[in-house]
Structure 1
Amino acid sequence: METEALSGIVREALGAGVHVVGMDRLRGGSKKGVYRVHVDGPRAASVIVYSWAEAENFWSAAEGINAAHPFAPASGLVPFLAAQRRLARLGVRVPEVLLTDDSRRCYPADVAVVEDVAGGTLETLLETEPARAPDALSELAAMLDVMYQQHSQQYGRVDVLERGDKASGVSCEQLVLECALGDLAEATERDRRIRPASVLLHDRLQELAARVSPRSRHGLIHGELGPDHVLVDASGHPVLIDIEGLMFFDVEWEHVFLQLRFGEHYPALSRPGLDPARLDLFMLAMCLSLVAGPLRLLDGDFPHRALMQRIAEHNAHEALALLVQ
């Protein structure tokens, strides 16, 4: 983003008395640009600016999926605000929104200025100050319980349901199966380790899906909740970010991702009552998604290429390991 345009957005959010004195682009995002903007003024030392410019979305050219699909890359001011409103009403901590602008007056993209939560990520805390992590993990687990206790007979992203649309498919498990079969076909073409086992993986997916019983009630889930998507504020409280994918879905989908991303720390987030049949299907589907998705992302000019390659390689290994369990 051009500094002049960025300065105008931040002044509109914080008042004319502030001056932009520096800017850092934060790494990791594949669907929006995230900038920390340092200011000199009476209110804040820094704020975060989200930019949903087309050039910031590394998935946009590669994805032909319907935008209302629960697994479509969620991007934009509309899903962000729908998620922010829903979580704030529940008392789930998210960064305070200081300004949103979809007028394209200051910059030719939707933008939001939000609070800069200064404590870093939970991922960093787990690595550098593990003694402080249990309290944050316990509070995060309580936040997730609040979310999971919100129920809907329909599944789909919050913004999609709010506008009265319905997600495709007949059930969460059928949707996961269809996506997993597509990811398997794509991974078979792209990954030499998956290719020899493609028939076995196909049959295993069908077998696991056949074990899942119907369900008519869904919980509210983040959708991509790794420790890098949780900030920890100055008081040690967790704050959820990258919330655009917030949706009603089977909570087991969230928990297989939590298991993969939190690893040895997952027991602090586990909960009773999860369906083992769904967990088995969703874990294999998630691993295949984390092979096909990163390799698809590498078709474009996503900058952190080694990271995506490592994610794909690791999850190919994990998917194959699930065949022998």
Structure 2
Amino acid sequence: MTIQGSSVQDQGATPSDRRLAALDRLAGGSKKGVYRLRLNDQTTVVLYVWAADENYWPPSPTVQDDPFTDASGADLFAANHAALTAAGVRVPDLMMLDRDGRYLDADIALVEDAGALRLEALLEHDSATAAMPLSSLGAALRRMHTTFGPHFGKLAAIAHGEASQTRRAEDVIVDRALGHVDAAAVRDVRLADAHHRITAHVRHLRSTVTPREEYGLVHGELGPDHVLVTPADEAVMIDFEGLTYFEVEWDHAWLQMRFGDTYSALRPVDLDPDRLELYRYAQTLSLIEGPLRIADTDFPDRKWMLDLAEWNITKALEAI
């Protein structure tokens, strides 16, 4: 395959064997560009592009020690890909990573095209055929959630000795949640009116959580749209730049929300119900603030973001 006159060898072929024939932008990316490259021998690969104009998320206030802040970029992709592979988790094969601008004025990665079928589509239209991929995904999650780190934080930061942990994980999440309430209340009068009750509820949930220091690999926002299914019914995990060592209840709060009635098929590890409840409510608040913030930009599917925020506003208010 040739990009800007330079050759990249792919899947054992010589550089002259393959040329780019067509490029299709794939839907779903809001922090990076995702493209399917169609080659002249009828094979395909997927290109990730990390560039400023591919990231629709505007800046937001940060929280001390928050491992989920700025969870995007080629460095995180590379470190997380290696960690998941070492843990026995199926991810797209990494063919090439360029952080030197040799081909584009951006960091890029070339990866295996694991197909267009997402687990989300199977669950919506043909749930009977989802049993094997769900079992595969559950096994991968158990391997992740029993792969432990010394403290919480981004894998790349830990590898470089840059991660520091000065307080408990649940306190980081409380600060995130309170920040999300503050930011969202500016944009929605219902949240402004309920601000005191919401923050009191967050603090009550925090008060029930007992100390613990155990941090597994968590994806951060794993839903069935972040899982591809191969013709062999393998579950292939994607969009894992947010991978971090953290309390596994964070992943399971998200998984319960996204997988609904099929969540039990993942056969989860044992969980702390108090942590789970705090993290579940914190994620609800995050799914209000984030979509409202990105809806203020030129993101192409603004209505989808507003609908997502509205759904979670209802959930947040019902809880109090």
Residue 31 (structure 1) aligned with residue 27 (structure 2): no
- Give me the whole-angstrom Cα distance separating, in 2, the residues matched to 1:192 and 1:66: 24
Residue 117 (structure 1) aligned with residue 114 (structure 2): yes
Residue 313 (structure 1) aligned with residue 310 (structure 2): yes
Tell me by how many angstroms 1:168 deviates: 5.5
Equivalent position of 1:129 in the other structure: 126
Equivalent position of 2:83 in the other structure: 86
Q: Deviations over 1:225-281 (max 9, x none)?
A: 010100111101100000111111011111111111111211212525211111111
**Aligned residues of 1:255 and 1:270 also touching (Cα < 8 A):** no
For residue 164 of structure 1, give the secondary structure of its aligned residue in structure 2. coil
Could you tell me which amino acid in structure 2 is paired with residue 228 of structure 1?
D
For residue 186 of structure 2, give the secondary structure of its aligned residue in structure 1. helix
Moved more, 102-111 or 262-271: 262-271
For residue 236 of structure 2, give the secondary structure of its aligned residue in structure 1. strand
**Which runs of structure 2 are paired with 1:47-196 in the superposition (5 Å)?**
47-59=45-57, 61-65=58-62, 69-167=66-164, 169-196=166-193
Could you tell me which amino acid in structure 2 is paired with residue 62 of structure 1?
P
Residue 12 (structure 1) aligned with residue 8 (structure 2): yes
Tell me by how many angstroms 1:220 deviates: 0.8
Tell me by how many angstroms 1:302 deviates: 1.3
Structure 2 residue runs without a partner (length 5+): none
For residue 317 of structure 1, give the secondary structure of its aligned residue in structure 2. helix
1:263 counterpart (237, 260, 264): 260
Could you tell me which amino acid in structure 1 is paired with residue 314 of structure 2?
H
For residue 8 of structure 2, give the secondary structure of its aligned residue in structure 1. helix
Could you tell me which amino acid in structure 2 is paired with residue 165 of structure 1?
E
Aligned length: 316
Tell me by how many angstroms 1:8 deviates: 5.0
Q: 1:208 to 1:67 in 2, by over 3 A?
A: closer
2:212 counterpart (206, 212, 215): 215
- Give me the whole-angstrom Cα distance separating, in 2, the residues matched to 1:220 and 1:166: 15
Could you tell me which amino acid in structure 2 is paired with residue 313 of structure 1?
E
Tell me by how many angstroms 1:16 deviates: 2.4
- Give me the whole-angstrom Cα distance separating, in 2, the residues matched to 1:175 and 1:67: 7
TM-score normalised to the size of structure 2?
0.94
Q: 1:169 to 1:180 in 2, by over 3 A?
A: farther
Q: 1:105 to 1:153 in 2, by over 3 A?
A: closer
- Give me the whole-angstrom Cα distance separating, in 2, the residues matched to 1:81 and 1:66: 25
**Aligned residues of 1:38 and 1:45 also touching (Cα < 8 A):** yes
Could you tell me which amino acid in structure 1 is paired with residue 223 of structure 2?
G
Q: 1:138 to 1:31 in 2, by over 3 A?
A: same
Q: Deviations over 1:109-138 (max 9, x none)?
A: 000110001251110111222111011111
- Give me the whole-angstrom Cα distance separating, in 2, the residues matched to 1:272 and 1:23: 41
**Aligned residues of 1:117 and 1:231 also touching (Cα < 8 A):** yes
- Give me the whole-angstrom Cα distance separating, in 2, the residues matched to 1:73 and 1:86: 19
Q: 1:309 to 1:243 in 2, by over 3 A?
A: same
Tell me by how many angstroms 1:6 deviates: 4.7
- Give me the whole-angstrom Cα distance separating, in 2, the residues matched to 1:67 and 1:104: 32
Q: Deviations over 1:67-126 (max 9, x none)?
A: 973121311110000000011111110000111111112211000110001251110111
- Give me the whole-angstrom Cα distance separating, in 1, the residues matched to 2:89 and 2:216: 15
- Give me the whole-angstrom Cα distance separating, in 1, the residues matched to 2:60 and 2:93: 31
Could you tell me which amino acid in structure 1 is paired with residue 27 of structure 2?
R
**Which runs of structure 2 are paired with 1:237-256 in the superposition (5 Å)?**
237-256=234-253
- Give me the whole-angstrom Cα distance separating, in 1, the residues matched to 2:243 and 2:64: 14
- Give me the whole-angstrom Cα distance separating, in 2, the residues matched to 1:5 and 1:66: 43
Could you tell me which amino acid in structure 1 is paired with residue 32 of structure 2?
K
Residue 206 (structure 1) aligned with residue 203 (structure 2): yes
**Aligned residues of 2:227 and 2:237 also touching (Cα < 8 A):** yes
Could you tell me which amino acid in structure 2 is paired with residue 81 of structure 1?
A
Structure 1 residue runs without a partner (length 5+): none
For residue 319 of structure 2, give the secondary structure of its aligned residue in structure 1. helix
Cα RMSD between the aligned structures? Answer: 1.9
Could you tell me which amino acid in structure 1 is paired with residue 138 of structure 2?
A
Q: 1:196 to 1:58 in 2, by over 3 A?
A: same
**Aligned residues of 1:98 and 1:113 also touching (Cα < 8 A):** yes
Q: 1:120 to 1:167 in 2, by over 3 A?
A: farther
Q: 1:68 to 1:12 in 2, by over 3 A?
A: farther
- Give me the whole-angstrom Cα distance separating, in 2, the residues matched to 1:272 and 1:107: 42
Moved more, 131-140 or 171-180: 131-140
